[in-house]
Amino acid sequence: MSAGDERWRVAPGGTLRGEARVPGDKSISHRAVMLGALAHGETRVTGLLEGDDVLATVGVFRALGVAIDGPREGAATVHGAGWPGLQPPAEVLDVGNSGTSMRLLAGLLAGLPFATVLTGDASLTRRPMRRVTDPLTAMGARITTAEGGTAPLHIHGGAPLAGIDYRLPVASAQVKSALLLAGLRAEGRTCVTEPAPTRDHTERMLRGFGYPVSLGPGTVCLEGGRPLLGTRVDVPADISSAAFLLVAASIAPGSDLILRHVGWNPTRTGIVDLLQRMGADIQVLAADEAGGEPVADLRVRAAPLHGITVPEELVPLAIDEFPALFIAAACAEGETVITGAAELRVKESDRIAAMAEGLQALGASVEPREDGARIAGRPSLGGGRVHSHGDHRVAMAFAVAALRAEAPVEVEDCASAATSFPGFVALLRALGLAIEAG
């Protein structure tokens, strides 16, 4: 069996107990490497996620001539090259399955004096990129895409960039961040206005690297041409990864988990808000700050969940956690209705279709819709075989669904979990999930 064919077999039922720290936040890890590479001086990172996506970003900057020690056990030192120190790569820059890498790097590379080509795996090269390339082109960048506006992206380089005042048509932290990174090299002021709040890791981290950023209602602005200064970055545990454990402990009778040092950024806590609206017992035990990012320990205990209508304004604050939320909804009493989440159609997979297909295979009643779904909860799920479609979050969601199944659940094509949650199987097994990989 090849690595891409990894399959998980999960026995039905179980209880989760203990405490754990899930791997580092993927979004923050990407940005720490990127800004560290552009800074003057060293940037020392702890808690870095050593998943495939972040390692792809590390590989890109090594190809651009940046020296990076590690990562080893979550620690890395980035020897900042500054903008002038970046060198033309000898080959195409392949970011694998990492949409964050591709979109943010498109903005970062647009202002360089040399040409680069960004590509990725079969899944990534099907994902839309015009939402990034169109506004970058308006800033003066010269970028050629494949037919349909997808990767590979040929970034021709050498074009002077000018600041832009851009209103995002769809809330997207990746597009916002790409434009801000391009704005670092642009003449004048770049402002991005979003229709709804999205994660603000880029704005926070720019300030941590000494770069002035101004904030207004729904808008972030910066002036091009300022220096970035090396710093220390402590990456908290990823709340997107913690979401699977929050749901798992909520639906498995008798469960009681403590999750340590979880990123508690208010633009990322939508999943906790939604689960609490469903009746989840989640407590914040300790709130602190690490490297400019809020962190907290979370305790979650099993609780009866009930269906809700998901407020559309919370969708951007939990967009990556919806596969886990689908499982919570399927195990809740009553009906859950999700709307305003069309972005799920263009993730690593069509997550609306993938979650509906898998839940239906386990006997749940799910009506997929163009921008969401209607899910009728039930006391237990059936067993069966589901396909993750190579999507790490879909795979992990169906693994925890087995806690409320009446027969084993087999999840196919699970190797992708390493992109965001290396060690998922071992950690969940240690906490009480009867999961085997093969």
Quickly count: other Cβ atoms within 10 Å of residue 56's Cβ: 24
Beta bridge partners of 189: 223
Instruction: Give the Cα separation of 79 and 337 in Å (integer).
Output: 48
Place of tokens 């899944």: 123
In 3D space, the residue among 427, 425, 416 whose CA is nearest the CA of residue 120 turns out to be 416
Token output for 228: 């970035």
Place of tokens 């801000």: 180
Token output for 400: 């925890």
5 is catalytic: no
Q: Is the peptide bond before 71 cis (omega within 30 degrees of 0)?
A: yes
**3-class DSSP state for residue 408?**
coil
* Contact (CB, 8 A) for 183 and 213: no
Instruction: Give the Cα separation of 402 and 252 in Å (integer).
Output: 9
Instruction: Give the Cα separation of 227 and 212 in Å (integer).
Output: 10
* Contact (CB, 8 A) for 136 and 107: yes
Helix axes 392-401, 351-361, angle to 10 degrees: 30
Question: Distances in Å between the alpha carbon of 87 and those of 107, 120, 187, 329, 379?
Answer: 17, 21, 22, 49, 58
**3-class DSSP state for residue 376?**
strand
Active-site residue, from 25, 121, 320, 413 = 320
End-to-end CA distance of the chain: 8
30: Cβ contacts below 8 Å, ≥ 6 apart: 53, 54, 57, 98, 100, 101, 104
Token output for 363: 């006997």
Residue 364 sits at φ, ψ, to 5 deg, of -80, 155
Enzyme catalytic residues = 320
